[in-house]
Structure 1
Amino acid sequence: MLSEQNLTSPAPKGGAGCPPVGIQLEGIILPPVLTADVILGLLGNIVALWIFCFKLKNWNPNNLFLFNLVIADFLALVSLPLRIDALLRGHWVFGDVICRLNLFLMFSNRTASITLMTVVAVYRYFKVVHPHHRFNRMSKRQAALVAVFVWLLVISPRLPMLAYNHLKGSGNRTQCFFFTSYKEASSAIIFLVGMHRVLTVLEFIVPMTLLLFCSIRISCFLKGRQMGKPEKVSKAIRMCAAIAAVFLVCFLPTTVTTIGVWVIRSFRPWDCAAFYTFTQLTIVSLGLNFLNSALDPIVYIFSSSMFRKALLGALSPILVCRKDKSGGSESSSGAQSTSQHELKSQTENRGSKAM
């Protein structure tokens, strides 16, 4: 553990800074949280992938965007087991190249999930509020091009992460961290971390603004035009609420802690205790980022009627089979009870005749 004296002492002059950030709080909190993320995320997204690949007969742009969201979730789920292993061991054993790829996949997933959820919300907005807009006549090929553009937008700012070594320490003290202390990082890494923090804030504020705008406009439009169909209004509101809820729960904490680190770094660089605390909380909040992989199947259900129908169609044979088994057992039990009752009656009649 870093001593309180080291954390609170002023940063030395000449470019030195706070002590290195090690595994402390995140080593306790993150392993169970990330393990739950992986288990729930795999269950939900394997079912979603099965529906998209084998049960969904007709594809539209909305389903194509949701399918790309599934791919983004799987990229995150692939990266998490290595991170869990490092947290449980207390150090990183997979080397420099895997460290770079792991960090790249982790942070790319956050951006991809945010961007694709925003695209889904905007697409639904045009469908409902501007049904005659040419945006609604988007072909599957055009939707695929939009998806490619989204991935390029997501990957481009993260590519520099692959160019630098993010390992700290050596031996059983080796850590694979993107967040770092002041003195242990090169100027290139410091710039990269700063750019990441700017992106973290912007990719929350801008999409959140769009999500709120789309949700409010859809609700107002449907309430004004569809007074005779309250179920349609409630369905659209539930879809918007589901996306907004997933967005806030998963991405707001990281944004808040990142702003905290940014403020400390800019205005209180001597306050190592505050810097250390906010950096630890930022790393811990990443566990909620990956919770979106488990919650995104809820978005699929609310956002795509075709997905809902395909899911219900896939589940109906299982439900019918269980109902038949339950009904069969009840019928068998009833028949057995009737037979026993008849046998008892016959025995009683014979006894009365003998008397």
Structure 2
Amino acid sequence: MLPEPNFTTTSNLTTTIPNSGDGGCPPVGKQLGRVILTPVYTIDVILGLLGNIVALWIFCFKLKTWKPNHLFLFNLVIADFMLLLCLPLRIDDLLRGHWVFGDGLCRINLFLLFTNRSASIALMTVVAIYRYFKVVHPHHRFTRMTNRQAAFVAVFVWLLVISPRVPILAYNHIKGSDNNTQCLFFTPHKETLCAIIILVGMHRVLMVLEFIFPLAMLLYCSIRISSFLKAHQMGKPDKVRKAMRVCTAIVAVFTVCFLPSTVTTIGVWVIRSYRPSDCAAFNTIVPLSLVSFGLNFLNSALDPIVYVFSSSMFRKALLGALSCAMRCGQNASENTPSSSGTQSTNQKELKSMRASGDT
């Protein structure tokens, strides 16, 4: 996942393996990335599209009143759609075994993939912090922000996460030619520019830091909300549980999606630095890093869970839409009986009309 000059990459955008040509370990074939990542990415796209299309529909057509919390969640939907535009290209790359979309789309694809991760982490953290202030410090100025101020906060978050990724757009990440063309960010080739080596190093550090600090903030917010509500709402345990669902959902999604990729990032880093000739360790962590990046992009499918727990209005709109769909389905089935049933019903109605006419 985090290559050095004596490593070579598979068809996955970030996975690395030792290069036997440089006297290292024998390479793990491209087939490994194809077998593991193709079904994982496909599941991510299907579930992500289903959940986020429903979420977008509710945000655009069902929410009558927008609040700052809704704006933050809506931006999370935007971040998820950025990812869903990128993964089909990666699936095609895995199935073909090479990249066919050119240098421009390669740069944009890598930029959006990494920006999605940072944006999802940042926006989920903002949602948790907002809920923390609403519960623990209800009179704080942060809880009384207007929608316009919330929009400025969202813009600031996007600028914060986009800025470190902009250099990705400045360099060519295409390696090889014809049927060996690959779109790779972590380029371990000897001709790699010094600027890209520095960029990769910055990316490594950022991947770890953007997980550790938000996770610490999420845990702090969750613990403070729990202790505050238990101290002030002793007779109302239901309110404690409801308030904790938001932070619990965010921490759960955050951990499932981003913890594995952070751990494997550190793992490859440690193995490369301290045990560079340990082929068994590296061949073990390569499949783990592949799976971790599949989970990393699963956040687009799990984020709707955050929407449901974070907004009562979103939850009510979703339940209303589901109940309406169920009622419409029942009515449709009731209005399309069999021909014999229709005839008997009509006959009963005719008899009833005659009886009423006789009296």
Q: TM-score, normalised by structure 1?
A: 0.84
Q: CA deviation at 1:18?
A: 7.7
In structure 2, the CA distance between the partners of 1:195 and 1:21, relative to structure 1 (3 Å rule), is: farther
Q: CA deviation at 1:233?
A: 0.9
Choose from 135, 141, 154 the match for 2:161. Answer: 154
Structure 2 residue ranges without an equivalent (≥5): 1-7, 9-16, 348-359
Partner of 1:116: 123
Specify the code of the residue in structure 1 equivalent to 2:95.
L
Residue 41 of structure 1 contacts residue 77 of structure 1 at CA under 8 Å; is this kept in 2? Answer: yes
Cα distance in structure 2, aligned partners of 1:133 and 1:25: 52
CA RMSD in angstroms comes to 2.8
Q: CA deviation at 1:25?
A: 2.0
Residue 96 of structure 1 contacts residue 165 of structure 1 at CA under 8 Å; is this kept in 2? Answer: yes
Partner of 2:352: none
Partner of 1:220: 227
| 1:302 counterpart = 2:317 | no
Choose from 218, 224, 227 the match for 1:211. Answer: 218
In structure 2, the CA distance between the partners of 1:22 and 1:34, relative to structure 1 (3 Å rule), is: same
Residue 179 of structure 1 contacts residue 279 of structure 1 at CA under 8 Å; is this kept in 2? Answer: no
Partner of 1:353: none
Partner of 1:93: 100
| 1:178 counterpart = 2:185 | yes
Choose from 240, 245, 248 the match for 2:247. Answer: 240
Choose from 78, 96, 112 the match for 2:85. Answer: 78
Q: CA deviation at 1:181?
A: 3.1
Partner of 2:151: 144
Partner of 1:315: 322
In structure 2, the CA distance between the partners of 1:301 and 1:32, relative to structure 1 (3 Å rule), is: same
Q: TM-score, normalised by structure 2?
A: 0.83
Choose from 127, 137, 140 the match for 2:134. Answer: 127
Based on CA coordinates, which of the two structures has the bigger radius of gyration?
1
Partner of 1:345: none
The percentage of counterpart residues that share the same residue type is 73
Q: CA deviation at 1:23?
A: 2.6
Q: CA deviation at 1:291?
A: 0.6
| 1:58 counterpart = 2:65 | yes
Choose from 38, 41, 50 the match for 2:48. Answer: 41
Question: 1:286-336: CA deviations, max 9, x gaps?
Answer: 111111100000100000011111222223322233455677899x98xx7
Residue 26 of structure 1 contacts residue 284 of structure 1 at CA under 8 Å; is this kept in 2? Answer: no
Residue 64 of structure 1 contacts residue 143 of structure 1 at CA under 8 Å; is this kept in 2? Answer: yes
Specify the code of the residue in structure 2 equivalent to 1:170.
S
Cα distance in structure 1, aligned partners of 2:125 and 2:134: 14
Q: CA deviation at 1:187?
A: 2.1
Choose from 13, 22, 28 the match for 2:35. Answer: 28
Partner of 1:291: 298
Specify the code of the residue in structure 1 equivalent to 2:70.
N
Partner of 1:164: 171
In structure 2, the CA distance between the partners of 1:7 and 1:73, relative to structure 1 (3 Å rule), is: closer
SS in 2 for 1:165: coil
Residue 48 of structure 2 contacts residue 301 of structure 2 at CA under 8 Å; is this kept in 1? Answer: yes
Residue 103 of structure 1 contacts residue 178 of structure 1 at CA under 8 Å; is this kept in 2? Answer: yes
Aligned residues: 329
Question: 1:100-139: CA deviations, max 9, x gaps?
Answer: 1111111100000000000000000000011011111111
In structure 2, the CA distance between the partners of 1:227 and 1:175, relative to structure 1 (3 Å rule), is: same
Partner of 2:261: 254
Q: CA deviation at 1:261?
A: 1.8
Residue 19 of structure 2 contacts residue 26 of structure 2 at CA under 8 Å; is this kept in 1? Answer: no
Q: CA deviation at 1:280?
A: 5.4
SS in 1 for 2:30: coil
SS in 2 for 1:71: helix
SS in 2 for 1:293: helix
In structure 2, the CA distance between the partners of 1:328 and 1:99, relative to structure 1 (3 Å rule), is: closer
Cα distance in structure 2, aligned partners of 1:326 and 1:10: 67
Residue 11 of structure 1 contacts residue 270 of structure 1 at CA under 8 Å; is this kept in 2? Answer: no
Cα distance in structure 2, aligned partners of 1:22 and 1:107: 25
